[in-house]
Chain A
Amino acid sequence: MTASSFRVLKIGLFLVCLLPLVKLSMETFGVSGMSLGANPVEELIHRFGIWGLNFLLITLAVTPLRELTGKSGLLRFRRMLGLFAFFYVLMHFLVYVGLDQRFDFSHILEDIVERPYITIGFTALLLLVPLAVTSTNAMMKRLGRRWRKLHRLVYLIGILGVWHFYWQVKLDTLEALVYAIILASLLGYRIWRKYERTSHS
């Protein structure tokens, strides 16, 4: 890939990753009859959360895709995808804090402490923060080998995120189970690869 085509692709991907935000904004402000439905706050929280999970899984799919297709250039898009995961998860949390709870921190604290599905969701968000902060080239250089170790946290974050989704479903768990299966495949692939590498060496 030449530097300029990489640049164009990167900008294109950036714009594509913004599409969920654009659509949600249009629904929020009722552009051309679009709407969030009868319970807009709940809908916003849910949709931002879903996109956070989507981007987490897409980020986790980069390594398997790269190895299976042999297109090593894919790795160069991973940081942006991971940062979009953090962005949508953060929006999910901010809409909950601002619109749903109206910055009522005593109620928010009570939720985080007493509602297990919120406890694990909040934990996942907290764990994402150091990954986002250390995503710059300078931080990668500074941390060296420890950077890779730190960023393995994303596996745990994925598990917590899907678990958080599963646990707040009233009854129909199908969608959450689909996410769990995709996550299990992505993590399972890595375990399998590791096993293969060690057994061949």
Chain B
Amino acid sequence: MVVPWVGIPLGDLLKRFEPGSDAKFVRFKTLLDPKQMPGQRRAVLRWPYVEGLTIAEAMHPLTLMVVGVYGKELPNQNGAPLRLIVPWKYGFKGIKSIVEIEFTNRQPRTSWEDSAPREYGFYANVNPEVDHPRWSQARERRIGAGLFAEKQETLMFNGYADEVAELYTGLDLRKNY
């Protein structure tokens, strides 16, 4: 489904901190608080949750720092007070309840890469041609479309190829999944 997020381009926020030329990546961290977030009481992933983007991805105008949804403040379960939305990537890149943003010169090690590197890579761009090792990612059913909705072909970069494909020229997307 198309979600009406409320937010600002992440790049506008990051530019205020004047990243230098060695800022090649951005690393994000979620709040670690098992009292508020009971899911963290079990070490399913190594907490706190960590995500990352290349600086070019972070500066892209489609990358949003989100504070609300449907015209209202972000509910806790959707990642209040600050969460990331990268519309051409799989959902797990959209880290929630961010408490730390760091410029770095090395590719951050993300939580999912840490747990299942063969299945969830750093880039995680929506790509119908590259299967997850255990299932296909070529078709999808839109959330909210109901019980009888037909699956549709998944689009390269989730339909944002015209806007973002240039970020990956020369990169083997099969290897950098």
Chain A contact residues, CB within 8 Å of chain B: 28, 36, 38-41, 44, 99-102, 107, 110-111, 114-117, 167-168, 171-172, 174
Contact = CB atoms under 8 A, between A and B. Distances in A.
Contacts of B141: 39, 41, 100
Nearest to B138: A107
Interface in B145-176: 146-148, 150-151
A172 B143 contact: no
B72 interface: no
A107 B134 CA distance: 15
The DSSP consensus for interface residues of chain A is helix
Contact of A99 (B135, B139, B148): B148
Nearest to B119: A170
Contact of B143 (A38, A100, A115): A38
B44 A172 contact: yes
B38 interface: no
29 contacts: A28-B147, A36-B147, A38-B143, A38-B144, A39-B141, A39-B143, A41-B141, A41-B147, A44-B147, A100-B141, A100-B151, A101-B151, A102-B150, A107-B139, A110-B136, A111-B136, A114-B136, A115-B134, A116-B134, A117-B134, A168-B134, A168-B135, A171-B44, A171-B45, A171-B115, A171-B116, A172-B42, A172-B44, A174-B42
A36 B10 CA distance: 35
Q: How large is the interface on B (under 10, 10 to 19, 20 to 34, 35 or more residues)?
A: 10 to 19
A150 B115 CA distance: 41
B150 A40 contact: no
A174 B39 CA distance: 13
Given A41-B141, A171-B44, A171-B115, A99 B147 contact: yes
A47 B151 CA distance: 20
Nearest to A173: B44
A40 B147 contact: yes
Contacts of A44: 147
Contacts of B144: 38
Nearest to B112: A171
A168 B136 CA distance: 12
A172 B39 CA distance: 11
A102 to B, nearest CB: 6
B134 A102 contact: no
Given A28-B147, A38-B143, 12 more contacts: A36-B147, A38-B144, A100-B151, A110-B136, A114-B136, A115-B136, A116-B134, A117-B134, A168-B135, A171-B44, A171-B45, A172-B44
